[in-house]
Amino acid sequence: MIQPLLSAKGVSKYFGGLRAVDGVSFEVFPGEILGILGPNGAGKTVLFNLISGIYEPTSGEIWFSGERIDGIPPHAIAKKGIGRTFQIVKPFASLTVLQNVLVARGITRYSHLTKVWGSWNSKGEIEKASEVLEKVGLSDLAERKAGLLPLGNLRRLEIARALVVGHSVLLLDESFSGLRHDEISRLEDLIRSIRKDGLTVILIEHNMRVSMGLCDRIIVLDHGQKIAEGRPTEIQQDKSVIEAYLGGKGTTHAT
Amino acid sequence: MSAYVVTIATLMVVQAIAVCGLNVIVGYAGQISLGHAAFFGIGAYSTAVLTTKLGISFWTALPLVIGISALIGLLLGLPSLRVREDFLAITTIGINFIVEAVFRYVPFFGGALGIGGIPRVMFFGVRLKGIPFFLLCLGFLVLVLLICWWLTRSWASLACYAIREEEAAASTMGISPVRFKLLAFVIGTAMAGLGGSLYAHYMQFISAGDFSFPISVGFLAMLVLGGMGTLWGPVVGTLILGILPELFRPLVDYRIFFYTLLLLLMIRFQPGGLLGENSFARKIITPLLKGLRK
Ligand SMILES: Nc1ncnc2c1ncn2[C@@H]1O[C@H](COP(=O)(O)OP(=O)(O)OP(=O)(O)O)[C@@H](O)[C@H]1O
Ligand SMILES: [Mg+2]
């Protein structure tokens, strides 16, 4: 049997009385594209923050490649090859687009007291960073200040940085929102090619057409709980999912 | 040059060294510090104690002085940099008051009288004062600027910039915010210590009041005026704020008021400082330079 690459075991995150994530368990297998669906406020982003170490779970465990990673700080989790994007984009605004990618490329150096003194401004480094920009289609804007880019380009920059860090797992938080049609299909192609390279992708996506087309498996969250899991076609017909999206508050959900 | 001019120039260069250190903390890593004068003072008092009580020379004391400043920076920075950013301002003000109080009330540091009789710097058998000492300070400033320039092209400073811009995003790129904030803080306090040491050997007499909170506000005003995060900003800011009060002598008593007002105005209207991008000074100077080249 194949071992899961990443798994959550009964993970919860409470903010005071609010159960943002409530006893969620799931597994992702190597090379898989897993989708996370759910209405606004369902707890999807909080789940990403738990995996990437920004938050510590109130209870439950997160495992990555045979190792428990909950409670480990974000920079240590990143070093394991888990890259992520932010739904609310977080560019290093006063740095150039290229420098934004270079920051991510420094990941192999930041924990070595000697390597941090080397120069990022070298031909080799800039070439490698430019290759990543090429992949996401930002080459023309390499020297532009990141803070001046429109949202669509910032989403691509988020992906570029995450690609550098996430050589094992990529967490994409609504990377498609705010993109034009042609940009969406380009990004779909990119994600498929990333998967061909052996990466595992978890993506949060409201756009049904995109998530149905890309994902091998989908889990659905509502009010912090996992209400469904299955292949895209199964999810489409799942009663509790349809209810969660169409029914308002006060509905009870099967778990 | 008259002695008066040399005095002003020397003090400005010494302050510029400290402000360069503040720039690493505030400009590079984005961590506000309102207690930089404390570390300037720690450098001054360390060298004063070492040279007057142990009788060692400025040069022998210097590595120790820089080491002590950096070490105390590390010890005080560790708890301070863990607090939320808006508390850091308060915490560093607190550090300034505590350090000043230690100088003022601990007899070992001369109490209210301060420490006098600090020897002049010897250089190949020559006792440096006046212009030669000014040139020595200038040499140290050049060295500090070279270090700053060298820092800006290192991965360490890239990590600091990332923390300054977006701490959460930086942490998901393998950067430990605490480690790099601390690194910036230690480099910055070491530079303050160097400046403080030169100050002590120039004045030959120091007391706690030389390192009080208003001096920290002055340092920050110089940095913000010149341009946070730029290489030359600390020098330009120190020059302007060093010369202005000399031109308006009666205003000297209101210096702290003037600094604070300037800080608020700059942060409101020109957060990048005079040398920052899109600053009004740049908009005026750049076309002029272009015109000159033609
Ligand atoms: N730091 C926080 N403190 C308090 N509550 C929070 C915090 N972060 C998230 N929440 C709450 O947790 C719940 C889940 O939020 P989350 O951002 O995960 O939703 P989401 O599923 O990503 O929604 P969307 O589709 O709108 O992005 C929300 O009610 C939100 O207000
Ligand atoms: Mg979200």
What ipTM score was computed for the predicted complex, to two decimals? 0.90
pLDDT reading at A47 higher than 50: yes
pLDDT reading at A250 higher than 50: no
Mean pLDDT of chain B: 88
A204 confidence band (pLDDT: 50, 70, 90): very high
pLDDT reading at B283 higher than 80: no
Fold of the A6-91+165-246 domain? Rossmann fold (3.40.50)
What's the average model confidence in pLDDT over A91-117? 93
What's the average model confidence in pLDDT over A201-224? 89
What's the average model confidence in pLDDT over A200-221? 89
Task: Return the pLDDT at B156.
Answer: 95
Residue ranges per domain, chain A?
A: 6-91+165-246
Contact of B202 with B133, CB cutoff 8 Å: yes
What interhelical angle do B177-203 and B36-53 show, nearest 10? 50
Q: What is the DSSP letter of A17?
A: T
Is residue A45 within a helix (H) or strand (E), and if so which, with residue range?
A: helix A44-51
B249 confidence band (pLDDT: 50, 70, 90): low
Bridge partners of A170, per DSSP, are: A83, A201
Write the residue with the smallest CA distance to atom 12 of ligand 1: A20
Pick from B155, B158, B174: CB nearest A165: B174
Across A43-47, A248-252, B256-260, least confident range: A248-252
Ligand 2 centroid to B151 CA: how many Å? 37
Is residue A63 within a helix (H) or strand (E), and if so which, with residue range?
A: strand A59-64
pLDDT reading at A26 higher than 90: yes
Write the residue with the smallest CA distance to atom 31 of ligand 1: A41
The more confident residue out of B254 and A26 is A26
A255 confidence band (pLDDT: 50, 70, 90): very low
Mean pLDDT of chain A: 89
The per-residue pLDDT for range B122-156, each reduced to its tens digit, is 778 777 788 888 999 999 999 999 999 999 999 99
Write the residue with the smallest CA distance to atom 24 of ligand 1: A40
Is residue B162 within 8 angstroms of chain A, CB to CB? yes
Cβ distance of B161 and A75 shorter than 8 Å: no
pLDDT reading at B245 higher than 80: no
Write the residue with the smallest CA distance to atom 30 of ligand 1: A41
Asked if the structure places residue B225 within a domain, the reply is yes
Contact of B236 with B226, CB cutoff 8 Å: yes
CB distance A7 to ligand 1 below 6 Å: no
Task: Return the pLDDT at A247.
Answer: 62
What's the average model confidence in pLDDT over B257-277? 79
Atom of ligand 1 minimally distant from the CA of A49 = 18
Contact of B281 with B274, CB cutoff 8 Å: yes
Across A37-51, A211-225, B76-90, B157-171, least confident range: B76-90
Task: Return the CATH number at B256.
Answer: 1.10.3470
- Please give the model's pTM, rounded to 2 decimal places: 0.90
The residue of A46, A75, A122 whose CB has the most chain B CBs within 10 angstroms, and thus the best one to mutate to test that interface, is A75
Ligand 1 centroid to B137 CA: how many Å? 55
CB distance A254 to ligand 1 below 6 Å: no
Q: Which ligand is nearest to the CA of A223?
A: 1
DSSP characters over chain B: --HHHHHHHHHHHHHHHHHHHHIIIIIIT----S-HHHHHHHHHHHHHHHHHHS---HHHHHHHHHHHHHHHHHHHHHHHTTS-HHHHHHHHHHHHHHHHHHHHH-GGGTGGG-B--PPPPEETTEE--HHHHHHHHHHHHHHHHHHHHHHHTBHHHHHHHHHHH-HHHHHTTT--HHHHHHHHHHHHHHHHHHHHHHHHHHHS-B-GGGGSHHHHHHHHHHHHHH-TT-SSHHHHHHHHHHHHHHHTGGGGGGHHHHHHHHHHHHHHH-TT-TTSTT-HHHHHHHHHHHHHH-
Nearest CA to CA, how far is B97 from chain A (Å)?
33
Write the residue with the smallest CA distance to atom 4 of ligand 1: A15
CB atoms within 10 A of CB B146: 11
Asked if the structure places residue B188 within a domain, the reply is yes
Ligand 2 centroid to B166 CA: how many Å? 18
What's the average model confidence in pLDDT over B169-181? 94
Write the residue with the smallest CA distance to atom 9 of ligand 1: A46
* Residues in chain A within 8 Å Cβ distance of B172: 52-54, 74-75, 77-78, 83-84, 165
pLDDT reading at A200 higher than 90: yes
* Residues in chain A within 8 Å Cβ distance of B174: 75, 78-79, 104, 106-108, 110-111, 165
Task: Return the pLDDT at A251.
Answer: 43
Judged on CB neighbours under 10 Å (0-12, 13-18, 19+), B71 is middle
Atom of ligand 1 minimally distant from the CA of A206 = 25
- Nearest C-alpha neighbor of B273 from the set B234, B243, B217, B245: B234
* Residues in chain B within 8 Å Cβ distance of A120: 153-155, 158
Split into its structural domains, chain B has a count of 1
| Mutational test site, ligand 1, from A13, A14, A18, max ligand atoms within 8 Å of CB | A18
Task: Return the pLDDT at A252.
Answer: 43
B252 confidence band (pLDDT: 50, 70, 90): low
Cβ distance of A120 and B154 shorter than 8 Å: yes
pLDDT reading at B266 higher than 50: yes
Pick from A95, A110, A119: CB nearest B175: A110
Nearest CA to CA, how far is B250 from chain A (Å)?
40
Ligand 2 centroid to A5 CA: how many Å? 23
* Residue range(s) defining the domain that contains residue B242: 3-268
Nearest CA to CA, how far is B19 from chain A (Å)?
22
* Residues in chain B within 8 Å Cβ distance of A104: 173-174
Pick from B154, B168, B173: CB nearest A103: B173
pLDDT reading at B273 higher than 90: no
pLDDT reading at A116 higher than 60: yes
What's the average model confidence in pLDDT over A58-77? 94
Cβ distance of A110 and B171 shorter than 8 Å: no
Ligand 1 centroid to A46 CA: how many Å? 6
Across B1-15, B158-172, B254-268, least confident range: B254-268
Task: Return the pLDDT at B153.
Answer: 93
Is residue B85 within 8 angstroms of chain A, CB to CB? no
Across A101-105, A157-161, B57-61, B253-257, least confident range: B253-257
Q: Which ligand is nearest to the CA of A47?
A: 1
Backbone angle region of A180, left / alpha / beta, with phi > 0 → left and psi within -120 to 50 → alpha: beta
Ligand 1 centroid to A43 CA: how many Å? 5
| Mutational test site, ligand 1, from A46, A51, A208, max ligand atoms within 8 Å of CB | A46
